Amino acid sequence: MSAALAVFASGSGTNLQSLLETFGADASTDDAAHVALVVSDRSGIGALDRAERAGVPTAVLAPKAFEDRDTFAAALLETLEGHAIEMIALAGYLKLVPEAVVQAFRGRIVNIHPGPLPAFGGPGMYGYGHHVHEAVLESGVRVSGPTIHFVDERYDTGPIIAQWPVPVLADDDPESLAVRVLKHEHRLYPAVVRAVARGDVRLEDDGRVDYAAVGSAEGPGFALVGIDAALESIDSRWRAR
Ligand code: GRF
């Protein structure tokens, strides 16, 4: 059975695109998920165009248009129920997801962040405007990379599922780093969404992430696989000297 996935986006939607290209919009797919809905808080954005081109229904729900947080949350929940949504992937969604939605989807709602968490996260540290990449460059860390986590009631604090190391180069600026990190986002996010949709990666009641059902090649070490590959390439360069 393929899980009906809603992707929440506020921008250009390149992560949405990678999910669309991986899973498609067809509920009868053999894959673990299909994109059944795209939700945005604003109209006129690239993500909505991408959804329409892929034949995926869209819903624009601007928090401002509602009387208060509760009515916004109720409308969001009703929209998700109307499309029989079973899992949510935030992909460049800039609003805080209402508590009622987080609670209804706990363990089935994930987010991608364009930098290492928990160090480079929180309100204001979002990908657009390169705030995260600027902070990474200012800090002097030599490794950045995307983090994928379960969503809780706050920005960027939910249990981490996967990270991928992306080296910070000496001549990087926020734009060049963003481009390099984004490429890895597009690889990592579909793999993690698939693992969560399959139930191979689970959020425990105590907040721990259970990877028991994932093979070692893709498992807790989503990050370790990357580090291995990076070390392998560095080792082979050294050996070739
Ligand atoms: C990505 O860098 C994502 O990590 C962040 O916002 C950006 C969205 O890009 N949360 P796109 O809309 O998927 O192209």
| Rg of the chain on CA atoms, in Å | 18
- Which ligand 1 atom sits nearest the alpha carbon of residue 181? 2
CA distance linking residue 107 with residue 165, whole number of Å: 24
Spacing, Cα 205 to ligand 1 middle (Å): 29
Residue 91 CA: nearest ligand 1 atom is 13
pLDDT of residue 14: 97
Task: Tell me how far CA of residue 130 lies from CA of 13, 28, 65, 115, 203, in angstroms.
Answer: 16, 38, 27, 10, 30
Secondary structure of residue 189 in the 3-state scheme: helix
Residue 204 is predicted with a pLDDT of: 94
Q: Report yes or no: 115 and 132 within 8 Å, Cβ to Cβ.
A: yes
Rounded to whole angstroms, the Cα distance separating 7 from 25 reads: 12
Of ligand 1's listed atoms, the one at least distance from the Cα of 13 is 12
Nearest residue by C-alpha to atom 8 in ligand 1: 92
- The secondary structure of the chain in percent helix, strand, coil, rounded to multiples of 5, reads 40, 20, 40
* Distance set, CA 126 to CA 44, 117, 130, 132 (Å): 20, 12, 7, 6
Which residues contact residue 19 at a Cβ distance below 8 angstroms, ignoring those fewer than 6 apart? 5, 7, 35, 89, 91, 189, 190, 193
pLDDT digit string (tens) for the chain, length 241 residues: 899 999 999 999 999 999 999 999 999 999 999 999 999 999 999 999 999 999 999 999 999 999 999 999 999 999 999 999 999 999 999 999 999 999 999 999 999 999 999 999 988 786 565 899 999 999 999 999 999 999 999 999 999 998 888 999 999 999 999 999 999 899 889 988 998 999 988 999 999 998 776 654 455 455 444 445 555 555 565 556 5
Tell me if 15 CB under 6 Å of ligand 1.
yes
* Residue 14 Cβ contacting ligand 1 at under 6 Å: yes
* pLDDT confidence of residue 130: 84
**Integer Cα distance of 143 and 97 in angstroms:** 29
DSSP E strands in the chain: the ranges are 3-9, 33-40, 58-60, 87-90, 109-113, 143-144, 147-150, 160-163, 166-167, 202-203, 209-210
Buried b (16+ CB within 10 A) or exposed e, 110-134: bbbbbbbbeebbeeebbbeebbbbb
| Residue 241 Cα to ligand 1 middle (Å) | 39
Encoded amino acid at 209, one letter: V
Is the separation of the CB atoms in 98 and 69 below 8 Å?
A: yes
Is 91 a pocket residue for ligand 1 (Cβ < 6 Å)?
A: yes
CA distance 145 to 190: 16
Give this prediction's pTM. Answer: 0.90
* Alpha-carbon span 202 to 150, nearest angstrom: 9
10 lines ligand 1 (CB under 6 A): no
Does 116 contact ligand 1 (Cβ within 6 A)? Answer: no
The response to whether residue 112 sits with its C-beta less than 6 Å from ligand 1 reads: yes
- CA 132 – CA 146 distance, rounded (Å): 11
